[in-house]
Structure formats: structure tokens, C-alpha cells
Chain A
């Protein structure tokens, strides 16, 4: 196990309010595995990434849980140790490639600086490595691109540079938060393929955060479905997407226009996400769930094995299919 998040709870304090952004979140990632974290806005998927990276704002607190990376609890590391981990051991790619790059520094120099710092080699050698790493993310004419500034590149090219940057250390874990959301579908397809190749070739594990179930289906081996700061369902991509067990997962798939019949209404989820300042006592999805039981509003279900014929995965639902 490369990374294990165990029963993690994260709270934010703003004014008088305490917002529980994550509650009892457990996620694990094996070496070389691509795990999708899927959820809508407010589901806690980005907070999970920021917590792993130690990048939470000052108003955040972690009252419970642990994050074990290669046997060490990340949450107990000091600033210096975290800095050594970030970039070198754990790489990150965010949604907007322009904001991740230095606007007035040439691409080659940005990459060389990081490589120079992490690998303890001369700047000249680092620059050569930078050009090689640009070629590795399938940039044609890497020498030319290395001399360019970010604004001279297209969105897809920029995201390739950011991936090259994140992979340059090279890290064992790559956290990618909506890496293709700002890109066109044809470019998205190429970037996803690229990430898949890198995972296969180098054994890098990837935590892919996305709102897009199609993206998950395309590249992830396992998927974690989050809702209102909790993991509601997790298992292999195949099982979760094709035999969803949690009503939220089912509803989310049902709300996609992908498989809907034109002319027939989409099955939209009624109501809104719960107020995270005031979490419901029972299941977080109960108020919007079509199949809720009396117990659902009373007691919060825990993540347990579900059984549906041949396969099993984990579901936090009182109505989960069990043996």
C-alpha cells in the first residue's frame, strides 16, 4: 500500500461556523494504481487532495484520522519534511495549467529549476533532463518548446508541461485534480492516455480527482464516490459504474445525458446537498434518496461490503445488497 487514508475528518472554522468538509474518509492507493475520486462540488474531493499535500488553509483542523504514505503518517510531519515530500515524492497537477506555471519564465527553465533542486545535479544537466521530460509527455520539438513562455502554448500543451513538471522528480504518487476539465475532449483524451502510459511505464500511482464519470471509466482501475464529504461507495471501476449499489451513485449515473433517451426527462436528483455546517444525524443522502428507510435519518451507515450476485465492493448504505 503506497497511500492509506484512514477515517479522516477535516473541519473548517469560519466565523462561528464549523464546517465538516470530510467525515470518516478512508481511501487507499496501491503502487502503480490509478484511483478515481469522483463527486460533485462540495463532495470533499479537492479537500482530500489538499490534506494529503499539507496545503490546507490555516482555518482547517484535522480532529481525527491518519494519512500513511510509505509507512509514515503525513499528518505528523513538520513543514520541512512536508516540503521534501511535495513535488519530489508526491507530484500534483491542477485544473488550470496557466496558474500552475510561472508566467514570465521560459518552460525549460521552470522544469530545470525543479529537477536541479530535487535531483542534485548541475543546472546544465537539469536543463537537458527538462528537454527529455518534455519529449516524454509527447511534445514534438521539445527544444523549441523549452525556450517558450507559457502564454505561447495552447491549453493542452500547457497541461502537458505541468504533467512533465509534476513527473520530473519523478514522484511515486501523482495527485491530479480535474486535470482535463479545462481542455477540449480530443485533447482530454490525449492527456488521459499520457497519464495512463506514465503510470504503466514508471509504476507511478495516480489519484485522479474528477467530476466526470466518463473519465473514470476510461482510465481508473478503482473508484471512490464521494458525497458531502463522505465516501459512499468504492470498488473497481467496472463494479461501481456497472453495478452501482449506493442510491447516490445510481442517481449520478442516471442524471447523465449519455445514456438518456432524447425526449424523455433525465432522472434528476431532487433537493440539494446537505448544509455541511449542520450535518444530518443519519445518512447524508437520506433527504434526497428515493428509497430511504426510517433508520436512514437516525443513524449514519458505515462503509461495508456489498454483495450483488458475483462481485463485491464497499457501500455506505442501509439498503446495501448483502449476502
Chain B
């Protein structure tokens, strides 16, 4: 089967005078339709830069990106294949929502990139109301400003904004990193449900190993701009081959960091601690 997104040898080099810095180099991976692909790494590993190159915010300095068989970049120009086909949700819902816009305008804004007929079809009041309630907010919230919402609610607004154009592919760049654990659980559940309902394909960028393990089918581990390991989530967690992946996994603070109590440890946690000690 043809992958929806194919990343082949892409690199990003930042230059300043005679100095150059390779934020990303020689990265390959592909994402199948309907898959959730995780990109994990620490700060500065280049994971967000990859998300930006896919969504047209930064141009790659080498390699190629194919979306559904078509190149996304010709030289430094982003080919917008079909407007609204691809969307992104950022980490910080505080800074990614315009504080002076009402929720309704925020959610509707991406439609402006669409041709008039499509804009009209997708931007009906009915659709807007269905979407806002689907992400767990109320119709009366549409008239309010972002500051009137909690962090979790703001992220729901950002998700609605990403989905208004009916995208097929969504880049999620640390979508729950700024949220409390109990709020994160709601947002992750919502993202899973929406994926099923709308046949979405996700690129899930995160530094959180447990979130990646829970959300993704396959994943790539990044370090200093390169991918050190790619594979299914189960393979990488149970049998990490690369030394850096092993360090990442052993650094992860776990509820079972101390003595695991037999009574209440589930099969999963035993499996986890077994894979850790191996």
C-alpha cells in the first residue's frame, strides 16, 4: 500500500554567515493512511522542525517529502495540494489562539484558505455547532474569547480549528504537554475518538514516552536531528535496540520505579518492568 506521507532523506540546515547548524539530517520514515506515527525526542532533537516542514512552515534544505505521491516542496516553495487537507495542533493553546478573536472566528479561520464553494459547504452553522459540541464544548462558547477558557478547553478549541476543513492528516505537536494529567486523559481520548470517526492520520510529536506508547502504532526516536530507531511501538518499548532509546526508557519515571507490589501490579506493568530490566 502506498504511504500517505513519505519522508525521504530530509534535512534542515540553518545558516548564519559561515556557521551552519543541522537541525534535521537524513530523516526517513513513512506514514500509512489511518496510522498514528509517533516522533519522540528531547528538546532540540528536531522533531518539531519535521512537523513544520510537513505543514509548510519551514522548507527542507535537502531530501523530499511526498504526500499521497505528490511532492510537498519544489525548491523553497510549498505546494498547497488541497487546502485544508493537512492541519496542525500546537502545544501551547495559550499562545496559539488569537486573544482578540472570538472562538467562532478562531475555528472558522482556516476555511478562508478554501475555495468559496467548499468554504460555504464546510462552514455552515450546523457543521460548526456539531463540531464544537463534538470536541466537548458548548454552542454558547462560540461567542467568548480564549482567556475565558481553561487550558484543556483551549486545546479543544485548537482541535476544532484543525478539524473544520475536514483534514485527512493532522500533525499534533505536543498537544497535551501543557495540560494536567486528568485533562490530558480527556484530550487523548478525544483525539482517539476523532481519529476513528474521521479516518484521520496523525503525526504525533511528543517528548512523553508513555503518551507515545499509548497513542501510536509506529514511532521513530530522534536524537540530535537524526532518527536513531524506527519501529512499531511494541517493538521499541519491549526491545529497544539503540543505546539512546534505552537511556530514554530507563530515565522515564514510572509509578513502579520502586518495588512493584504483586497484588496490584497488572500484567502490563510486569511486562513493562521486565522489559526495563532486560
Contact = CB atoms under 8 A, between A and B. Distances in A.
B248 interface: yes
B23 interface: no
B186 A268 contact: yes
B266 to A, nearest CB: 6
Contacts of A211: 180-181
Given A259-B269, A267-B185, A268-B189, A253 B258 contact: no
B185 A217 contact: no
Contact of B182 (A184, A186, A192, A268): A268
A186 B252 CA distance: 8
Interface string B247-268: 1101111111111010010101
B207 A214 contact: no
A184 B42 contact: yes
Contacts of A217: 253-258
Contacts of B188: 257, 266
Most buried by B among A211, A253, A258, A265: A258
A255 B184 contact: yes
- Size band of the interface chain A makes with B: 35 or more
Interface string B207-234: 1111101110000000000000000010
A253 to B, nearest CB: 7
Nearest to A309: B263
A5 B28 CA distance: 55
Contact of B253 (A188, A252, A255): A188
B252 A214 contact: yes
A238 interface: yes
B255 A186 contact: no
B192 interface: yes
Given A184-B207, A212-B253, A262-B213, A242 B264 contact: yes
A251 B254 contact: no
B43 interface: yes
Contacts of B183: 40
B251 A185 contact: yes
Nearest to A155: B43
Contacts of A255: 181-182, 184-185
Contact of B210 (A238, A253, A256): A256
A298 B62 CA distance: 66
Interface in A192-214: 192, 211-214
Nearest to A243: B264
A187 B44 CA distance: 13
B189 A188 contact: no
B182 A214 contact: no
Nearest to A270: B186
Given A184-B43, A259-B266, A261-B268, A252 B181 contact: yes
Contacts of A243: 261, 264
Contacts of A237: 258
A255 B207 CA distance: 18
B239 interface: no
A218 B253 contact: yes
B255 A214 contact: yes
A215 interface: yes
Contacts of A256: 181, 185, 210, 255
Contacts of B185: 255-257, 266-269
Contacts of B150: 272
A260 interface: yes
B93 to A, nearest CB: 14
Most buried by A among B181, B188, B209, B268: B181
A41 interface: yes
Interface in A9-43: 40-41
A32 to B, nearest CB: 18
B210 A241 contact: no
Contacts of B247: 186
B182 A262 contact: no
Contact of A189 (B253, B259, B268): B253
Nearest to A269: B182
Of all A-B residue pairs in the complex, the 3 with the closest CB atoms, nearest first, are A214-B253, A257-B214, A268-B185
6 contacts: A185-B252, A186-B248, A188-B251, A189-B250, A213-B181, A257-B208
Given A40-B182, A218-B258, 17 more contacts: A41-B151, A184-B207, A185-B42, A185-B207, A187-B42, A217-B256, A217-B258, A242-B261, A242-B264, A252-B182, A256-B181, A256-B185, A257-B184, A257-B188, A258-B254, A258-B255, A266-B185
